[in-house]
Amino acid sequence: MVTSRTLISDLAAHEPGPVSISGWVEVVRDQKRVQFVILRDESGSAQLVNPVNDATADVAATISGLSHGSFLTVDGQLKHDERVKLGGLEVKIDDLTVVTEAAETPIDAETGIDKRLDWRFIDLRRPQGRLLFKVQTTMLHAMRQYWIDNGFTEIHTPKLMASASESRAELFEVPYFETTAYLAQSPQLFKQMAQAAGFGKVFEVGPAFRADPSFTSRHATEFTSIDSEISWIDSHEDVMVMHEQLLHAAFAAVAEKHGDEIKELFEIELQVPSLPFPRIPHAEVKQIVADRGHVIERADGDLDPEAERQIAAHVKETTGHDFVFVTDFPSSVRPYYHMRYEDDASATKSYDLIFGGVEISTGAQREHRVDVLQQQAIEKGVEPAEIEEYLDFFRYGVPPHGGFGMGLARVLMLMLGQQSIRETTFLFRGPTRLTP
């Protein structure tokens, strides 16, 4: 009598004989003399076999009626047999219980992304779906480990706010008793507050909201933001050093734990990026991109997606690196809280990190001198009255500091060669998607 469930991935090390496994039906091959069922659980898939004869007639009838996706518990006899393609093992069924029967599956391997998202719980049964979130778990664990090893403190900042965290554009309003609240676009203000509180180094992994009506492969209305902020920096260079070390640790952990599976399921040889990542100032980037024949058409002259692809291609060709920090953005395209150069107020001590041709992060040294900060806010059309409480953070002493925000789903999308953050977000939220 078998009582406890064995994970399919543990069968290889399990002694031959009685086992009990549970999972869902992936394939049924209902042949006259022998039936096969491929059963998958969260750890892998295995072949079940039922030779059809008088003694197995009841099980045979159940198998003939099995629908794809039904969840089963099977008691049987494990046999290690090298001739079996699937893991070199097979379970001969003694007893099979249909725990929940599945209706006909509404999606298949050919179904497009929008319909797959409607049925995300079925879509995620694909081994690629499972691997994606195993990789995410390992990546965030490695990042946390890096932060903890280096003396950072984790914070959780409010997502209901009295004012905008980034700009008044892309702001979600929420009725809030007698007033209006806004959903946090970033933990920006509060991670800076932690510097004024003397925390020194902080991180947060949490939701951020943007009322962005676009339908690109890289924008969501709700996303998970990875944020970090550190005190006593000399410039954004110190932030970039921390940032690249963090990503290096994350990629190394993922490559070690999932490299083989990533190769098998996503056909990607995961590269651990070498340190340091290349750094190129924004003005130089514009020149390189222009020399490659791309004319930036944005009115403010900031990099557009094609410029990001072009600079990434240039860096890949010249250094072999998949990452590049574009540094020193013009003040005209950066928020008021980015610190400007002492000798050139038209440039900021800031950067974007581009990975595989897509921006995954923005970082900067922050302006911590309250009079300068206030002046820059006014210049950018931000009313000091609106940010009065934020300005208070800087009135009672604060060390020089800086940090970055990075979209989790974008990192995963590029790491695993996916087409859209819809694939790498557990449940995507966009302008026309609030379900499931």
In the complex, which residues of this chain contact ligand AMO (CB under 6 A)? 166, 186, 188, 210, 212, 219-220, 223, 225, 359-364, 403-407, 410
The residue with tokens 């319909």 is: 115
User: For the residues of 227-284, what is the DSSP string, one character each?
Assistant: EEEEES-SSHHHHHHHHHHHHHHHHHHHHHHHHHHHHHHH---PPPPPSSPPEEEHHH
Q: How far is the CB of 413 from ligand AMO (least distance, A)?
A: 10
> Which H or E run contains 413?
helix 408-415
CA atoms of 303 and 311, how far apart (whole Å): 10
* Cβ closest to ligand AMO, residue 76 vs residue 403: 403
Q: Which residue is nearest to ligand AMO (CB)?
A: 407
Q: How far is the CB of 2 from ligand AMO (least distance, A)?
A: 47
Q: How far is the CB of 210 from ligand AMO (least distance, A)?
A: 4
* Cβ closest to ligand AMO, residue 52 vs residue 412: 412
The answer to whether residues 40 and 8 touch, using CB atoms and an 8 Å cutoff, is yes
The two structure tokens encoding residue 416: 């695993």
Phi, psi of 50 (to 5 degrees): -140, 100
Nearest in space to 200 (alpha carbons), one of 228, 230, 227, 226: 230
* Cβ closest to ligand AMO, residue 52 vs residue 233: 233
Q: How far is the CB of 239 from ligand AMO (least distance, A)?
A: 9
The two structure tokens encoding residue 223: 């996303």
Angle of the 236-266 helix axis to the 408-415 helix axis, nearest 10: 50
* Cβ closest to ligand AMO, residue 202 vs residue 249: 202
CA atoms of 79 and 81, how far apart (whole Å): 6
* Cβ closest to ligand AMO, residue 190 vs residue 266: 190
Q: How far is the CB of 195 from ligand AMO (least distance, A)?
A: 12
The residue with tokens 């046999």 is: 79
CA atoms of 46 and 125, how far apart (whole Å): 15
* Cβ closest to ligand AMO, residue 96 vs residue 220: 220
* Cβ closest to ligand AMO, residue 26 vs residue 302: 302
Q: How far is the CB of 211 from ligand AMO (least distance, A)?
A: 9
> b/e per residue, 305-341, with b = 16+ CB within 10 A?
eebbbbbbebbbeeeebbbbbbbbbbbeebbbbbbbe
* Cβ closest to ligand AMO, residue 40 vs residue 401: 401
Q: How far is the CB of 212 from ligand AMO (least distance, A)?
A: 5
Other residues' Cβ atoms within 10 Å of the Cβ of residue 290: 13
CA atoms of 222 and 206, how far apart (whole Å): 10
CA atoms of 395 and 392, how far apart (whole Å): 5
Q: How far is the CB of 423 from ligand AMO (least distance, A)?
A: 13
Q: How far is the CB of 17 from ligand AMO (least distance, A)?
A: 50
* Cβ closest to ligand AMO, residue 210 vs residue 248: 210
* Cβ closest to ligand AMO, residue 171 vs residue 406: 406
Q: How far is the CB of 287 from ligand AMO (least distance, A)?
A: 23
Strands (E), 81-239: 89-100, 153-154, 160-161, 173-176, 179-183, 201-209, 222-231
